[in-house]
């Protein structure tokens, strides 16, 4: 792990307690939080708005609507973040538009890198001091941004560090988009080893339950995938929304006409165990979640991902592999096994390699496609389930 030098205005000495004081106390086991605490709203940003809304806002400021398109080109296409580079806008007008539509939403507080710089976790501070993280992962053939949809999470899965911290608030549309834009900027500027490049894939697998912040996540999906310069122009097929299984919200997502991939965090094939590992299962059972997933794949033609954290002696038995295989076989589905990543205070560990191999074989015996996810970013607490926005560095 290496820490990049602190840039101007980027203090790296934030203490543990000052960070934690912005976040709520841990929820009791099993308690779900759907309604995000009410807090002051982040300032309005271009990325909160559709192309038409941007023009309306600019017209409301007494300026020509095409100025909105110029701003969009700077933000979404050229990835400009320095107003001085917006030379096609006269200075006084530029300052006014930047004030109104491009406020600084996020400040990087800490950046940690691993895998020779190819994995980078950023700790962001929002306008109100709230903290959350995003992770950029560069591979030979693609670069994936793992983004947060909420600061904290209300879903309280006991093996996930984010869930243990509770829900602080929903992120706004622009706060979600800005994580992607920031990653795209560092790629475009050659700040990630491997030469200049682009962000090609997005996974909503950072902090938060995306379908519990549905309106903002939907708008962010449009901003991320709308063709440039209206949006960032990333293919819908390269975007994955991961959920604990909020059934009505999965159904609604299917009605949006998007072709984003759905990932379901299943972690157990039986209700008895899933009730404890993924507390939302007390509301929507395994069968209901899977039925919603199959309906989604039918509507979109997309293969559904089933996420399954491999927890030693808890959910990794051969009989559970067989049970899962039976539930999934014949469907448009792919299983992603995630060796459990360590989280503070957790009594669980990752499965033994031989049990993991047997689990894979158990699924394959039913003709179910399965891969084991790599553990990028583990040493910087940037892997699945480790994002807690509590920097002790």
Catalytic residues: 133, 384
Question: Between 57 and 253, whose beta carbon lies closer to ligand SAH?
Answer: 253
Residue from 194, 239, 201, 228 nearest 78 by CA: 228
Shortest distance in whole angstroms from residue 242 CB to ligand SAH: 4
Shortest distance in whole angstroms from residue 202 CB to ligand SAH: 13
Question: Between 227 and 344, whose beta carbon lies closer to ligand SAH?
Answer: 344
Angle made by CA atoms 197, 201, 205, in degrees to the nearest 5: 130
Question: Between 155 and 321, whose beta carbon lies closer to ligand SAH?
Answer: 155
For 225, the enclosing helix (H) or strand (E) is helix 214-225
Shortest distance in whole angstroms from residue 133 CB to ligand SAH: 12
Residue from 233, 142, 133 nearest 194 by CA: 142
Angstrom distances, CA of residue 74 to CA of 48, 63, 83, 222, 338: 15, 17, 9, 18, 38
In the complex, the residues that contact ligand SAH under the rule CB under 6 A are 153, 155, 157, 159-160, 205, 209, 242-244, 265, 307, 309, 338, 340-341, 343, 384-385
Q: What is the torsional sign of CA 46, 52, 55, 57?
A: negative
CA 228 from chain centre, in angstroms, equals 21
Question: Between 118 and 384, whose beta carbon lies closer to ligand SAH?
Answer: 384
Q: Which residue is nearest to ligand SAH (CB)?
A: 385
Q: Are 351 and 316 in contact (CB under 8 A)?
A: yes
Shortest distance in whole angstroms from residue 44 CB to ligand SAH: 27
- Joined together, the tokens standing for residue 171 give 């992120």
């Amino acid at each position: 792990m290496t820490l990049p030098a602190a840039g101007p205005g980027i203090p790296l000495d934030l203490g543990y307690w000052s960070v934690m004081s912005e976040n709520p106390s841990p929820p009791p086991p099993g308690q779900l939080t759907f309604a995000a605490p009410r807090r002051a709203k982040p300032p309005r940003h271009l990325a909160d708005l559709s192309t038409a809304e941007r023009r309306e806002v600019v017209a409301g400021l007494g300026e020509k609507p095409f100025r909105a398109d110029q701003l969009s080109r700077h933000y979404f296409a050229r990835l400009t973040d320095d107003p001085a580079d917006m030379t096609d806008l006269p200075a006084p007008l530029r300052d006014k538009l930047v004030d109104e539509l491009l406020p600084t939403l996020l400040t990087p507080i800490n950046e940690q890198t691993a895998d020779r710089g190819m994995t980078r976790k950023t700790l962001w501070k929002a306008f109100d001091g709230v903290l959350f993280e995003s992770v950029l992962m560069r591979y030979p053939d693609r670069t994936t941004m793992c983004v947060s949809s909420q600061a904290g999470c209300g879903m309280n899965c006991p093996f996930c560090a984010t869930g243990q911290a509770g829900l602080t608030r929903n992120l706004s549309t622009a706060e979600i988009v800005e994580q992607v834009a920031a990653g795209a900027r560092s790629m475009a500027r050659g700040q990630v080893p491997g030469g200049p490049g682009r962000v090609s894939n997005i996974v909503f697998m950072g902090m938060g339950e995306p379908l519990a912040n549905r309106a903002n996540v939907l708008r962010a999906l449009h901003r991320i995938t709308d063709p440039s310069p209206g949006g960032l122009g990333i293919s819908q097929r390269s975007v994955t929304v991961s959920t604990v299984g909020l059934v009505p919200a999965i159904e609604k997502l299917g009605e949006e006409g998007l072709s984003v991939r759905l990932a379901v965090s299943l972690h157990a094939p039986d209700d008895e165990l899933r009730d404890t590992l993924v507390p939302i299962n007390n509301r929507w059972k395994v069968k209901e979640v899977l039925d919603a997933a199959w309906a989604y794949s039918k509507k979109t033609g997309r293969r559904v991902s089933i996420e399954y954290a491999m927890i030693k002696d808890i959910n990794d038995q051969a009989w559970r592999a067989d049970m899962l295989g039976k539930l999934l076989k014949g469907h448009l589905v792919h299983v992603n096994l995630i060796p459990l990543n360590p989280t503070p205070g957790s009594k669980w560990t990752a499965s033994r390699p031989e049990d993991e191999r047997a689990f894979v074989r158990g699924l394959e015996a039913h003709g179910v496609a399965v891969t084991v996810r790599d553990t990028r970013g583990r040493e910087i607490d940037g892997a699945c389930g480790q994002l807690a926005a509590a920097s002790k560095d």
